[in-house]
Structure 1
């Protein structure tokens, strides 16, 4: 799994924390501790799904376009990271006569597909709003 999911959640929760406030890619990047180009790429994906709106020019940036009480972390995960739990590298060789080498990847893929479904099901119970509330309760 890559860091896209964490960056997307952090960015959206940051915007939820500043309701009706326009935030530049630079201010989001500073808060997330990454570069603004990476934020712009992520925000483009989130904008395409309707989670944020953008305004160009002076005073422009990103603003939350969704209700944080209705958007779950599963929604965000599916948008930016679905399928990343499974590595792109494959193990074994399906052409070999060895039962282990020829079937390990098939079984591993099944396990990781099931794990991703369980993970998404778990994330369905956490909204952006609930995530923000957990942050506010941190010491």
Structure 2
């Protein structure tokens, strides 16, 4: 899982929490505890995929463009992190005579593809609105 996904979900939940639904990259970065440049990179991707709109100038920033209950974690995952479970390196060599070495990469790829599909199906059941509800419930407890 990459950190962009975590930043994106945190940012979208924060925007859903704000009464005016608006926050600057500096405000988001402070809340996420990361650099504003990283936030702007993630928010740019979210804007390109229709999750947020931007407003320039004083009082500007990012604003949700969709209802929090209409955005699933799977939507965000597909936009920012799909396929990120698969390792960038796999053991073995398809040219080797050993049956294990020559087939491990394909088998591991299949395993990670399956895990990615399962994760996406799970994320499909959770919305940004539900994430905010969980946070509010935890704060009340």
Residue matched to 2:96: 96
Q: Pairwise mapping of residues 117-128 of structure 1 onto structure 2 (< 5 A)?
A: 117-128=117-128
CA, structure 1 residues 127+21, in 2 after alignment: closer, same or farther (shift >3 Å)?
Answer: closer
Q: CA deviation at 1:2?
A: 1.6
Q: Pairwise mapping of residues 44-83 of structure 1 onto structure 2 (< 5 A)?
A: 44-83=44-83
Segments of 5+ residues of structure 2 without an aligned counterpart are: none
**How many aligned positions are there?**
139
SS of the aligned residue for 2:45 comes to helix
Residue matched to 2:20: 20
Q: CA deviation at 1:19?
A: 4.1
Report the TM-score when normalising by structure 1: 0.96
Residue matched to 1:112: 112
Residue matched to 1:8: 8
Q: CA deviation at 1:80?
A: 0.4
Q: CA deviation at 1:91?
A: 1.3
User: As a proportion of its length, which structure holds more helix?
Assistant: 2
Segments of 5+ residues of structure 1 without an aligned counterpart are: none
CA distance in 2, matches of 1:85, 1:4: 13
SS of the aligned residue for 1:69 comes to helix
Q: RMSD in angstroms over aligned alpha carbons?
A: 0.9
SS of the aligned residue for 2:53 comes to strand
CA distance in 2, matches of 1:34, 1:44: 16
Report the TM-score when normalising by structure 2: 0.95
